[in-house]
Amino acid sequence: MPEKCNIPAEEREALFDLFPDCTSPEEDEELRQVFTQYLFYHRLDRKRRAYLCTACRDLWIDRADQYGHNDAYYCPRCLQRVTLKAVGRMGQGMTNVGYSSLFEAHNVVFFRRAEDGGLLVSGGKAEVIYRPGSTDGVGWPGAWDELDGLVWPVLELDFSERRRYYMAPSRLASWKRSYGYYNRGIFGFDYRQSDWDNVGSAGEPNPADGGRMSPQPDGGLYYVFGWPELERSALRYSAVEQAFDIEHLSLYRGVVSYLARYSRRPQVEMLTKLGHHDVIDCMLHDDLLGGVVNWRAKTPHGFFKLSKPDYKGWASQGGSLDVLRKWAQYDGKLSLAQFAGACAKIGNADAGQVLTIGERYGVRIGKLTSYLDGYVSAHTWLDYVSMAERVGQDLAQTDVLMPKDLQRRHDRLAEQIEYMENMENLKKYRRRLKALRTKYEMETAGYLIRVPTLAAEIRTEGNALKHCVGGYADRHMSGETTILFLRSSEQPDEPLCTIEMRSDGVTIRQIHGYRNDYGLESPMILYKMFLDIWLPWLAAGSRRDKQGRPILPKTDDTAITQAPQKEAV
């Protein structure tokens, strides 16, 4: 939730009056820089053009060159990057819009220092509209008679203010201005603005409401102006420059929320300077970590509800908030520092379960983490232990709890449980398995396709890759759908990517890797070389030679390394 405001209503009117009613000429000049700069020109004759630059606002006549309408260019007067525009080719668009092709809008925020040291924050949408105008004889360098009468696009800059915030240490107030419409008959609608209203909380400015009719410019991000004013205000110690990479004319999200949090919660500065960026991220996404932290504390260890030794040990291990949350749920004997060290080897997601099981069977934590660190998958081991407990194996024996051949033992247990649960369905699937292998399995271009032999394999695949294929296991075994494993030839037993086929049996319904490829390139692109060989082969009927190897068109870049098919287990 956004930060709650705490300034009484009777004080807000005086604070509201501190805000200026419009932007200053200096702010307008700075604001112009975020918009696209143009070099307009009129063709005077075959060899000459009249130019007008929006960056330096200079007007001159020069020879024509090979560059023309919409080309990127550098103004020869101010050397700024501009876009060439032939005025005669733009058109005017609708009368009330001017040159509609040049319309541009951005979300912006202004910082201003109040006389009492507080920070005045104004957020809204800035727009530029170019309308037909003239430069006849008014202060334009080189505006001689030959240029009189030429029509030029003249910039109009408008800032529609939507949010205001007053911020000072332990003090926060917020106002919102809404815009409505009134019907102007058959000619359309005009804006009607309401009065400013007090708001009970302060978050991101959101200067445009968005939606299909009025989408957010720049995806909701905003430009910030007035950083020097922030440095002169009472919020100058906020450490915002460490939380965000402050650059000239950069787009931001979260800056206003950060300062609003800091105005009420001075611990924000401490957290930023100590490098607790995951806490800051949660805070900016309206998660105040209730129950995990103490916002009234004035020391780092007190803030995280830890003793000094626990905090120092945890911070030395990276200070992961995820680890802290897992430790809060863990009821074992390890200190937070020991737990964090184990997480670094095992992985945060499974550490609590792994350590609890180790303590249950009397295994030293160092021995257990060494076994799991880089040797076997913690997901696979946890699955194995769960199955072993289910069938009554003696996990107090070290070689049973931590077998050297974990994958083989895991698969054997999975098969045993599968058999116990549904022997009849397993028999039916085994009869179908050979046909699936003949149709789908192939190895080429460094990758291979495997058909799962058991439902447990599909569930393990889902656990390892953190996606939902485990829920498809029963449907695959019954023949309602077909699940396949895409693996690397070098590591055929390591989950890499999972495929579900359509009902036609030859086209892919979905293909996903770890966490459904979140933040990564699509598997259809990553494994394109393999898929471009496998899918056409599949569509052509999965032809094989007498040794069971796929028959593929011979090309220079296709190397078939398919091994002879093995019999179903």
Q: Which tens digits make up the pLDDT trace of 34-75? A: 999 999 999 988 899 999 999 998 888 999 888 999 999 999
As a whole number of angstroms, the distance between CA 29 and CA 374 comes to 58
pLDDT at 95 over 60: no
Mean pLDDT on 278-286:
88
pLDDT given at position 555: 54
pLDDT given at position 98: 79
pLDDT given at position 331: 78
Listed by start position, the domains of the chain span 3-264, 292-375, 425-539
Reported as a single tens digit per residue, the pLDDT across 241-254 is 999 988 888 999 99
DSSP string, 224-278: EE-HHHHHHSTTTTS-HHHHS---TT-EESSHHHHHHHHHH-THHHHHHHTT-HH
CA 337 to mean position of chain CA atoms: 30
- For the four alpha carbons of 346, 347, 351 and 354, in that order, the dihedral sign comes to negative
Q: pLDDT band at 472, cuts 50/70/90?
A: very high
With contact defined as beta carbons under 8 Å apart, do 271 and 279 qualify?
yes
pLDDT given at position 239: 94
Q: pLDDT band at 139, cuts 50/70/90?
A: very low
Mean pLDDT on 153-163:
92
Reported as a single tens digit per residue, the pLDDT across 227-246 is 999 999 999 999 999 999 88
More confidently predicted of 565 and 368: 368
Token digits of residue 5: 């405001």
As a whole number of angstroms, the distance between CA 499 and CA 484 comes to 5
Q: pLDDT band at 326, cuts 50/70/90?
A: confident
Mean pLDDT on 298-325:
88
As a whole number of angstroms, the distance between CA 457 and CA 441 comes to 16
pLDDT given at position 138: 44
Q: What is the mean pLDDT of the chain?
A: 85
As a whole number of angstroms, the distance between CA 24 and CA 30 comes to 10
- For the four alpha carbons of 344, 348, 353 and 356, in that order, the dihedral sign comes to positive
Could you tell me which residues are beta bridge partners of residue 164? 122, 175
More confidently predicted of 468 and 214: 468
More confidently predicted of 41 and 134: 41
With contact defined as beta carbons under 8 Å apart, do 387 and 395 qualify?
no
Reported as a single tens digit per residue, the pLDDT across 401-426 is 988 888 888 888 988 887 776 666 77
Q: Pick from 92, 107, 86: which is nearest to 38 by CA?
A: 86
More confidently predicted of 424 and 258: 258
Mean pLDDT on 143-159:
79
pLDDT at 8 over 90: yes
pLDDT given at position 208: 46
pLDDT given at position 238: 94
pLDDT given at position 135: 62
Please report how the helices 378-391 and 351-360 are oriented relative to each other, as an axis angle in degrees rounded to 10.
Answer: 40
Q: pLDDT band at 561, cuts 50/70/90?
A: very low
Please, which contacts does 314-320 make with residues 24 or more away whose CB atoms are closer than 8 Å? Answer: 314/340, 315/274, 317/341, 317/343, 317/344, 318/344, 319/274, 319/275, 319/276, 320/278, 320/348
pLDDT given at position 511: 94
With contact defined as beta carbons under 8 Å apart, do 49 and 58 qualify?
no
pLDDT given at position 358: 85
Q: pLDDT band at 558, cuts 50/70/90?
A: very low
Reported as a single tens digit per residue, the pLDDT across 168-196 is 999 999 999 876 655 544 444 555 556 89
Reported as a single tens digit per residue, the pLDDT across 352-408 is 888 888 888 888 888 888 887 655 578 888 889 999 998 889 998 988 998 888 888
pLDDT at 101 over 90: no
Q: Pick from 191, 189, 167, 159: which is nearest to 178 by CA?
A: 191
pLDDT at 212 over 60: no
Could you tell me which residues are beta bridge partners of residue 500? 483, 510
Q: What 3-state DSSP class applies to 220?
A: helix
pLDDT given at position 97: 63
pLDDT at 325 over 80: yes
As a whole number of angstroms, the distance between CA 467 and CA 473 comes to 13
pLDDT given at position 176: 93
Range of lowest pLDDT (284-298, 448-462, 521-535): 284-298
Looking at residue 211, its amino acid is: G
As a whole number of angstroms, the distance between CA 112 and CA 231 comes to 10
pLDDT given at position 376: 58
Q: pLDDT band at 534, cuts 50/70/90?
A: very high
Helix (H) / strand (E) containing 344: helix 336-346
pLDDT given at position 143: 46
As a whole number of angstroms, the distance between CA 281 and CA 347 comes to 21
